[in-house]
Amino acid sequence: MNRSTFKVLFYLKRNAPKKNGLIPVMCRITVNGKVSQFSSKLDVEESIWNVETGRLSGRSLVAQEGNRMLDKIRVGINRAYQEVCDADSYVTAEKVRNAYLGLGQNHKTLLAVFKQHNEDYAKMVGKMKSVRSYLKYRTVYNHLSEFIRQRYKMSDIALRELTPAFITDFELFLRTEKNHCTNTVWSYMMPFRSIIYTAINNGWLPRDPFYAYHITKEETKRGFLTKEEISLLINGTFKKKKYELIRDLFIFCTFTGLSWTDMYNLTE
């Protein structure tokens, strides 16, 4: 591949200044006109940033340390680009970015770890694990996958890129995009937290992005159905045949006093 199609650029993310006034430096990788980017984890003063060179100006200790960090990132990306070229005939900006961030290695990304967990979990359903808990893990995986695509325009995210902001943004996504109430959000964040603990325990994640996160389950007072409401339910029609079966089972429990758990454990 012609190396002229490959570029690395550092730029300031001016629309997201930190509380201390510093501006985050982003790294943009371009291959054949297609772009992929990530945070360099370096914050700088805008006044000493040179747009033309993509580096810090001056001889101050801050400028020297910052430029040394940017040089290290550039060298790492060049190495990653060469590795992708050697291993794959089709090179993209995202592949280079992923290779640099360690996304190409097994169990280094959130969704890869989550997917492997779900595959292992599925094998224990009916023995040590329930179908309900397995389906919940699958639902959370699907929500995370959609969130990452929508928010970050990526197919996956490196574990070491997870921050407390990622956790709170995902909660907001569940509340606003999926319209889930607090207790549903709580029930989805627990499996997600479990995956993160697995990653930490295996040494794939150096810090816990959940460390400052808190969510508590809200106590709900369950009401009861009136005779009129039960009659409406009995005589109601449903679009899906499956719902009629669920209704029939519920009504059966209502008039017999059979518990939900006993109903759940009945075979055909």
> SS3 for 67?
helix
Contacting residues for 135 by C-beta, under 8 A, at least 6 apart: none
Give the residue with greater pLDDT, 234 vs 169.
Answer: 169
For residues 49 and 66, membership in a common domain is answered with yes
Beta bridge partners of 158: 109
Q: What are phi and psi of 236, to 5 degrees?
A: -70, 155
The pLDDT of residue 55: 94
Which pLDDT score, from 0 to 100, does residue 91 have?
87
In a domain, 191, yes or no: yes
120 and 81, same domain (yes or no): no
Does 60 map to a domain? yes
Whether residue 222 is contained in a domain is answered as no
| H/E run at residue 187 | helix 182-201
| Closest by Cα among 23, 79, 8, 20 to 56 | 23
Average pLDDT over residues 172-196: 95
Are 7 and 97 contained in the same domain?
Answer: yes
Residue 218 in domain: no
- Name the least confident of 10-14, 71-75, 262-266: 262-266
**What mean pLDDT comes out for the span 12-33?**
91
Domain match, 90 and 115 both:
no
Same domain, 119 and 160: yes
- Tell me the CB-side half-sphere exposure of residue 203, using CA atoms within 13 A: 0
Verify that 32 and 95 share a domain, yes or no: yes
- pLDDT, tens only, 64-118: 999 999 999 999 999 989 888 887 778 889 889 888 887 555 447 899 999 999 9
Please state, rounded to an integer, the average pLDDT across all residues of the chain: 88
- Whether 26 and 75 map to the same domain: the answer is yes
Alpha-carbon span 194 to 208, nearest angstrom: 11
Residues 18 and 68 both lie in one domain? yes
Q: How confident is the model at residue 8 (pLDDT cuts 50, 70, 90)?
A: very high
Helix ranges restricted to H, 90-181: 93-101, 110-122, 131-152, 164-176
Same domain, 196 and 257: no
| pTM, 2 dp | 0.53
The predicted-structure confidence for 155-176, as pLDDT tens digits, reads as follows: 888 887 888 999 999 999 999 9
Give the residue with greater pLDDT, 108 vs 188: 188
**Is residue 70 located within the same domain as residue 92?**
yes
- What pLDDT is attached to residue 106? 46
Q: Please check whether residue 210 lies inside any domain of the structure.
A: no
List the domain range (segments joined by +) for residue 79: 3-101
Domain count, the chain: 3
Alpha carbons 141 and 163: distance in angstroms, whole number: 18
Pair 85, 8 in one domain: yes
- Residue 250 confidence (pLDDT): 87
Sheet containing strand 6-12, edge to edge, reads 6-12, 23-31, 34-44
Is residue 112 within a helix (H) or strand (E), and if so which, with residue range?
helix 110-122
Residue 136 has pLDDT above 70, yes or no: yes
Together in a domain, 142 and 187: yes
Q: Does residue 231 lie in a domain region?
A: yes
Q: Is 207 part of any domain?
A: no
Residue 148: per-residue pLDDT: 93
The answer to whether position 96 is within a domain reads yes
